[in-house]
Chains A and B, each alone.
Chain A
Amino acid sequence: MGALLEIRGLKTHFATDDGMVQAVDGVDLIVDRGETLGVVGESGCGKTVTALSVLKLIAMPPGRIVEGQILWQGRDLVPLGGRDLDLIRSKEIAIVFQEPMTSLNPVYTVGEQIAEVLRRHEGLGRRAAREKTIEMLRLVQIPNAERRVGDYPHQFSGGMRQRVMIAMALSCSPQLLIADEPTTALDVTIQAQILELLQDLKSRLGMAVMLITHAMGVVAETAQRVVVMYAGKVVEEAPVRQLFARPLHPYTRGLIRSMPRIDRAATRKTRLEAIGGVVPSLLAPPPGCRFAPRCRFAAAICREAVPPLREIEGGHRVACALAETIPQ
């Protein structure tokens, strides 16, 4: 049986007044059934555009999927449109966004908004939709679901709104949930609640999750496999334990080591290992490896050719010409 989702050589570019922004430039990744894939990277690395490309939620124009395939259970979504795409978007792949404040409509009650999904896609009647809505709110552990179903989004806190978004996303039992920075806008204790909820729902409903985040800590705790992106490309991919135990790409290492660790409070403080420089412009990305200008190991070869993503050991792939030679 093939992968649930397989992205092959995806290129999504945006036309701007200054030229073409190569936001996603040749991304390959796979999400298997029932797994949590973490996609990490900094702002502008293309992680969100990759996710939005899957559901074709990119504004076109200015955006355009220039190249590549998005295989959903073997079927390419790129040429799809209209009703076929709607069906997949509604019942098979769901998405939760970062901003629970702006993704809900402020003039409808949360119950109406979830019921709308159920009536449209599941063909439920008014009463059945309401009952199912309450059931969904209970599933995401919103207290007093029968009463809260009639509340408006502004009556919910940030964490509760994100629960509503998750309830809405899961209402048609998708096989894949794309969670785009679902906890970034939330406080740390609320983040812990939402991550636990997602883990719990994933194992109960048996769906796969594509978790997009910039936080290495969140990935370490929730994902089974991780894809690291930099400047529109995948630079490393590995099972989570392998990635953290033996990161091969200098950028991944930099990400892991540049953050202070709370669990090392008792040890002597050392200076943080910062990554120098800034993320390159995607209008005119540097030739060769896009990380080379910031990489302290970079050699001539790095500036000449784009390093391909290659497998070093079981399931651990890296796009670095010098991966074997640079010291750990």
Chain B
Amino acid sequence: MSEPLLRVKDLVKHFAIKGGVFSRQTDRVHAVDHVSFDIAAGETLGLVGESGCGKSTTGRCILRLIEPTAGEIWFEGRNVTALDRGALRALCRDMQIIFQDPFASLNPRMTVGAIISEALTIHKLAKSRREFTDRVVQLLETVGLDADHMRRYPHEFSGGQRQRIGIARALAVEPKLIVCDEPVSALDVSIQAQVINLLEDLQERFSLTYLFIAHDLSVVEHISTRVAVMYLGRVVEIASARNLYTSPRHPYTEALLSAVPIPDPEVKRQRIMLQGDVPNPIRPPSGCRFHTRCPIRKLPLCSQQIPELKEGPKGHWVACHLRS
């Protein structure tokens, strides 16, 4: 196999919890715990899991918007985690991010034109004023907005349009990889499809690679080539989208998929009900982190040993003592 575009190796992120008179570190949240995966150029890797599973933290660590505690991130053969500030800034041209909340991620005091062109200035991508404006207009049209939108402010736009502005901003520097962090979950159903279609079109047109982070399993299935499932900071399963959804191996993936309501009253499914809630990530369960809720667990094995991700047939990776 050729070198992947992005390789995440044993990524760890702990957040310190401070307390007491001298605000010493009293505890830590194990947000991301030894996460590894590859993304090949041109593919979309979906990253799913419930809130607090560490999927967004993983995405942000890749761009070093959050500094990882340990582990390595390799982009096109370069170790991102070892770069200094200058080199990291240069790398920002290749890796961009689209955020979930189109209301909070755009500066309300900047015009749309200024928001989109900021990166052009920083990376010195336009030579003249003329070239500058042309590029902004071109970007607006690429994402389905009008040229005259560039003089307006974010509050004049709807949620879907703002998300388009966010996408145009990411595209401005012609990146290779875009981390899409819940890009459609704040949008209405009828607008979601517009944005998903746009992301797919752009991927084809500019040969983009996506890391698509979302909690909506149907959306992830639709857009992804491969999918990784996270639970309490760890990846429990990675496979091609089709394999993962048609023959899930990990009991958590099975339960997750069976919980998704299907918009068809004629479809009756067997639902695997998980008991209880996700445990506290400050003190995650020993062994397999899912063992406290797992319907097929075998004790004491599952509560003592952490299962490693192991590769099965057709590149289907599972971290389960009983299923791998």
Check if A258 sits within 8 Å of B265, measured CB to CB. Answer: no
CB–CB B265/A244 < 8 A: yes
A127 interface contact, C-beta 8 A? no
Q: A265-B221, A266-B246 are in contact. Are A189 and B50 (CB under 8 A)?
A: yes
Q: Which of A260-291 contact B (CB under 8 A)?
A: 260-263, 265-266, 269, 271-276, 278-279
Q: Cα distance A167–B246 when bound, in Å?
A: 37
Q: Smallest Cβ distance from B15 to chain A, in angstroms?
A: 19
Selected from A160, A259, A261, the residue in CB contact (under 8 A) with B193 is A259
Give 9 new A-B contacts, CB below 8 A, not counting A187-B51, A214-B188, A216-B263.
A42-B189, A189-B255, A189-B259, A191-B261, A216-B189, A254-B190, A259-B193, A272-B196, A279-B188
Stretch of A50-58, A217-225, A320-328 contacting B (4+ beta carbons < 8 Å): A217-225
Interface residues in chain A, defined as those with a beta carbon under 8 Å from any beta carbon in chain B: 42-43, 143, 157, 159-160, 187-193, 195-196, 214-221, 240-241, 244-245, 254-256, 258-263, 265-266, 269, 271-276, 278-279
- Chain B residues with Cβ under 8 A from A279's Cβ? 158, 188, 190
Closest Cβ of chain B to A37, distance in Å, is: 14
- Take A188-B259, A217-B263 as given contacts and tell me if A265 and B242 are in contact as well, using a CB distance cutoff of 8 Å: yes
Counting CB contacts under 8 A, is B36 at the interface? no
Q: List 5 A-B contacts (CB under 8 A).
A: A195-B261, A256-B263, A258-B189, A266-B246, A269-B222
Given contacts A265-B245, A266-B242, contact A191 B190 (CB under 8 A): no
The answer to whether residues A189 and B274 also contact, given A42-B188, A43-B188, A260-B218 and a CB cut-off of 8 A, is yes
Residue of B nearest to A275 (CB): B190
**Contact in complex: B256, A265 (CB < 8 Å):** no
A-chain residues with CB within 8 Å of residue B262 when the two chains form the complex: 217, 220-221, 261-263
Given contacts A189-B259, A272-B196, A278-B191, contact A220 B273 (CB under 8 A): no
Question: With A and B bound together, what is the CA distance between A256 and B88 in angstroms?
Answer: 44
Using known A-B contacts A254-B190, A272-B197, determine if residue A262 contacts B51 with beta carbons closer than 8 Å: no
Question: Which residues from B are CB-within-8-Å of A189?
Answer: 50, 255-256, 259, 274
**Cβ of A214: which chain B residues have Cβ within 8 Å of it?**
188-189
- 8 Å CB interface, B186-216 against A: 188-194, 196-197, 200, 215
Q: How far is the CA of A276 from the CA of B257 in the complex (A)?
A: 29
The 8 closest A-B pairs by CB, nearest first: A217-B261, A260-B222, A265-B245, A274-B193, A187-B50, A258-B193, A216-B263, A192-B259
Give bound CA distance, A59 to B320, whole Å.
53
Set of chain B residues within 8 Å of A271, measured between Cβ atoms: 197, 200
User: Could you tell me the dominant secondary structure of chain B's interface residues?
Assistant: helix
Residues of B within 8 A of A (CB): 50-51, 158, 160-161, 188-194, 196-197, 200, 215, 217-219, 221-222, 241-242, 245-246, 255-267, 269, 271, 273-274, 276-278
Docked CA distance A279–B191 (Å): 9
User: Known: A188-B50, A188-B215, A265-B241. Is A258-B246 also a contact (CB below 8 A)?
Assistant: no
Given contacts A42-B189, A278-B191, contact A221 B265 (CB under 8 A): yes
Min CB–CB distance A320 → chain B (angstroms) = 16
Chain B residues whose CB sits within 8 angstroms of the CB of A143 once the complex forms: 276
Q: Please determine whether B190 and A274 come into contact, CB atoms closer than 8 angstroms.
A: yes
A278 adjacent to B241 (CB under 8 Å) = no
Cβ–Cβ contact A187 & B215, under 8 A: yes
Tell whether, in the assembled complex, residue B190 and residue A193 are in contact, meaning their CB atoms are under 8 Å apart: no
- Closest Cβ of chain A to B76, distance in Å, is 28
Cross-chain contact A157 with B277 (CB below 8 angstroms): yes
* Chain B residues within 8 Å of A273, by CB: 193
Across the interface, which residues of A come within 8 angstroms of B266, CB to CB? Answer: 241, 244-245
Interface centre among B51, B189, B266 (most CB of A within 10 A): B189
Most buried by B among A42, A157, A241, A260: A260
- Given the known inter-chain contacts A217-B263, A221-B265, please indicate yes or no for A274 contacting B257, CB distance below 8 A: no
For residue B219, which residues in chain A have a CB less than 8 angstroms away from its CB? 260
- Complex CA–CA separation, A259 to B195 (angstroms): 12
Chain A residues positioned under 8 Å from B261 (CB to CB):
191-192, 195, 215, 217-218, 220-221
The one of B51, B263, B278 that contacts A244, using a Cβ cutoff of 8 Å: B263
